[in-house]
Amino acid sequence: MTVKKKQIVECDVIDVAFGGKGLAKIDGFAVFIDQTVTGDRLAARIVRKKRNYAEAVVQELLRPSPMRVDAPCPYSGYCGGCKWQFIDYPHQLEFKRRHVSESLEHIAMMEGVRVHPTLPSERVFGYRNKMEFSCSDRRWLMPHELGTDADIGFALGLHVPGTFHKVLDTDACLLQPDTGNRILESVRRYMRQSDRPVYGLRSHEGFWRFLMLRHSVDRDRWMVNIVTASEDRDAVQPLADLLMDQFTEVVCVVNNITARRSGVAIGEREIHLAGEPVLTDRIGDFEFEISANSFFQTNTRGAGRLYETVGRYADLRGDETVVDLYCGTGTIAIWLAAKARRVIGLELVESAVADARKNCLSNGIDNCSFILGDIKDTLENIETTPDLLVIDPPRAGMHKDVLKQVCRMGPEKIVYVSCNPATMARDMLELKADYTLEEVQPVDMFPHTFHIESVARLVRKT
């Protein structure tokens, strides 16, 4: 049987594929179905047909999988924030472990690598320390709102999966602590009543663009970043004052201003409106000052577990030279500094390097230095072979020239941290002639999503 677009097929979901969709086979032909899990029997409608596979949506769930749980969030299935709430947490962890293991098998052609059970997140809800809510002049309605007199001219919330212009008017997001939801509601009420218009994601006109909330887990304090399309202090200052009055937890309000059309909540300019200029949080023994646009791991407690794993795999004695590639704001360098002779961090973004230097000073660390620039150009300036190389690249993984330089450099040990099992496996393929991949520890920083961090320990072949 060949499947056709719009056809309804009855099928059993036999696995969950990389990317988080359920996989069914119709006469051996792969069909990927969003919001399904192994063990589901369902009627599915084919929505896209390609040469080697098709995509389908659930028409009717005929027999639910035992792995299913009731998703506590009313937006589950409609919101792009988290798509796995309907799968019980132990199975989420096992799917993530398998995705890491299977990526290594299929992409890196490495059989039998020790991939440990996924370290769970300490919290499965309320774990995110940073949320970005988009404004829109078109509200995407939930099914129960269709045909009602719901106001469709305003939304402040999260996007429908994979869309730039469909925004839900999200009352609350369970991924952030509850105070964040009370702040969200207060801002929504203010923006709705304001005489400044909300931004149109198609027209690119309007004033209110994003609301970004950041939470310090250590101090239980909040930063509010109001992102607008232009400067208008009369519109934003009363909102800042209101939030400072209403919430003792809010210690900092800033206004980022961006005229760019892109959907990125970073301003070309920032105005400090109220309270302190930055938020302070802690990972392990170290304190970090976080400004509105600084990079900081979004699951603070999870970051602690991730860095503990990095420290364990690094296994430093105190006399080593460590090079930390893609060091960001220096969090890993700082974590390892006390156990090393010196750490050199390499990073592309100027503000991240400035933050890294500041973070060293405020934590009393004096054996770290940082080199600004593209690693493709800066790595060759490192003259000594480090005892340990830490590599924590962005989702896209490493540039192939950098991989070659790493092999030429030949450090004894590598600890590779990854947020993308597929690019990690691709990079392992390049490293495997010179290095043995001893073990991999997946660490869950993002419950209810298919995303997974991994830490890999590699040792140079003799």
Annotated binding site: 297, 326, 347, 392
Compute the distance between CA of residue 60 and CA of residue 321 in angstroms, rounded to an integer: 58
Half-sphere exposure of 157 (CA within 13 A, CB side): 28
Which residue's structure tokens are 């007199």? Answer: 149
Compute the distance between CA of residue 56 and CA of residue 49 in angstroms, rounded to an integer: 9
Phi-psi region of 126 (alpha: psi -120 to 50; beta: other; left: phi over 0): left
DSSP-H helix ranges across 247-299: none
Q: What string of H, E and C letters represents the secondary structure of 14-65? A: EEECCCCCEEEEECCEEEEECCCCCCCEEEEEEEEECCCEEEEEEEEEEECC
Q: How many residues does the chain have?
A: 462
Half-sphere exposure of 36 (CA within 13 A, CB side): 31
Binding residue positions for S-adenosyl-L-methionine? 297, 326, 347, 392
Residue nearest ligand SAM by beta-carbon distance: 328
- β-partners of residue 385 are none
Enumerate binding residues for ligand SAM (CB under 6 A).
295, 297, 326-329, 331-332, 346-349, 352, 374-375, 392-394
Q: Verify whether residue 79 is a known catalytic residue.
A: no
- β-partners of residue 63 are 41
Half-sphere exposure of 440 (CA within 13 A, CB side): 31
The C-alpha angle with vertex 120 and arms to 57 and 183, in degrees rounded to 5, equals 75
Compute the distance between CA of residue 256 and CA of residue 259 in angstroms, rounded to an integer: 10
| Nearest distance in Å: CB 399, ligand SAM | 6
- Check if the beta carbon of residue 118 is closer than 8 Å to that of residue 96: yes
- Check if the beta carbon of residue 294 is closer than 8 Å to that of residue 355: yes
User: What is the crossing angle of helices 233-246 and 178-193, to 10°?
Assistant: 140
Catalytic residue positions? 419
